[in-house]
């Protein structure tokens, strides 16, 4: 994928993340040039694009960001936020982001099929040239989306 298409995919992802977070959690999203979060305090969720092409997206959601989003989405206290709920929040966010990305990169009325979000370690490298990594702050907290460049087309 050339640099122009890569930059277009970054813009599409940024718009999809902003629309998703601002609509669902009423929070401000800003793109940043930070490192990809890693470690035990990060929920890694993946989602496969099945049709019209095979590709994958990942959401790297630090637990503190996930807790803040869960409080906003569900109006609950920290004591009620479990790991299962954080995985559900990450999966729902990634599913919505993926749908927004696909509607932006495909021609109007094109059908697409997404798999189910799966929590677990991500099989990717931020340095992999086939990946598009986009980091954000949400009300000052971090989140990263990693997209397989095939999402934008062959």
**Is residue 6 within 8 Å of residue 132, measured between CB atoms?**
yes
Report how far apart, in Å, the C-alpha atoms of 144 and of each of 34, 46, 57, 127 are: 9, 12, 11, 14
Q: What digits encode the pLDDT tens for the residues 89-118?
A: 999 999 999 999 999 999 999 999 999 999
pLDDT band of 127, cuts 50, 70, 90: low
Residue 97, domain extent: 3-152
What is the value of pTM for the model shown?
Answer: 0.89
pLDDT at 139: 87
pLDDT at 70: 93
CATH number of the domain that residue 15 is part of: 3.40.1550.10
Q: What digits encode the pLDDT tens for the residues 37-92?
A: 655 688 999 999 999 989 999 999 999 999 999 998 888 988 899 999 999 999 99
**Number of independent structural domains in the chain:** 1
pLDDT at 4: 72
Give the start-end residues of each E strand in 28-115: 29-32, 42-51, 55-62, 113-114
């Amino acid at each position: 994928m050339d640099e122009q298409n890569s930059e277009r995919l970054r813009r599409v992802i940024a718009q999809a993340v902003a629309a998703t977070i601002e609509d669902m959690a009423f929070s401000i999203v800003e793109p940043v040039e930070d490192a990809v979060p890693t470690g035990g305090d990060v929920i890694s969720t993946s989602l496969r694009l099945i049709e019209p092409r095979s590709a994958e997206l990942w959401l790297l959601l630090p637990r503190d960001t996930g807790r803040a989003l869960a409080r906003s989405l569900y109006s609950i206290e920290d004591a009620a936020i479990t790991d299962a709920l954080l995985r559900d929040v990450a999966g729902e966010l990634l599913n919505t982001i993926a749908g927004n990305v696909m509607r932006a990169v495909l021609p109007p009325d094109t059908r697409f099929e997404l798999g189910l979000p799966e929590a677990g370690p991500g099989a990717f490298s931020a340095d992999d040239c086939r990946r598009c990594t986009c980091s954000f702050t949400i009300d000052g907290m971090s989140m990263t989306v990693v997209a397989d460049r095939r999402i934008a087309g062959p």
